[in-house]
Amino acid sequence: MIVEKRSLNWLPRASISDEMDAAREKRRAYLQADLASAANYNSALISTNTSTTDSVNLTMSIAVSRLRNGTTKKV
């Protein structure tokens, strides 16, 4: 009977420094994607808030002009 050493990991592994560099780049890419996503959410929130504020200002100006003119909305 012949005893042979067999291993499933027959491909050479990258060096520890190469693995650390790859992990660092992966984290950096994830953080950049996360920051971009947060910036998109922030701009969407500001845009929605601004459009809501504009519509409220428009409604208030219409109501003030009706009060000044003494007119009411017809139902």
pLDDT of residue 68: 79
pTM flag (> 0.75): no
Which residues, 6 or more positions from 73, have their beta carbon under 8 angstroms from its beta carbon?
66
Distance in angstroms (rounded) separating the CA atoms of residues 56 and 69: 20
| Two tokens, residue 60 | 């208030």
Count of helices and strands (H, E) across the chain: 1, 0
Distance in angstroms (rounded) separating the CA atoms of residues 53 and 72: 23
Q: What are the structural domain ranges in the chain?
A: 20-69
Query: Which tens digit of pLDDT belongs to each residue from 23-36?
Result: 999 999 999 999 99
Distance in angstroms (rounded) separating the CA atoms of residues 69 and 63: 10
Query: Which tens digit of pLDDT belongs to each residue from 49-61?
Result: 666 667 777 778 8
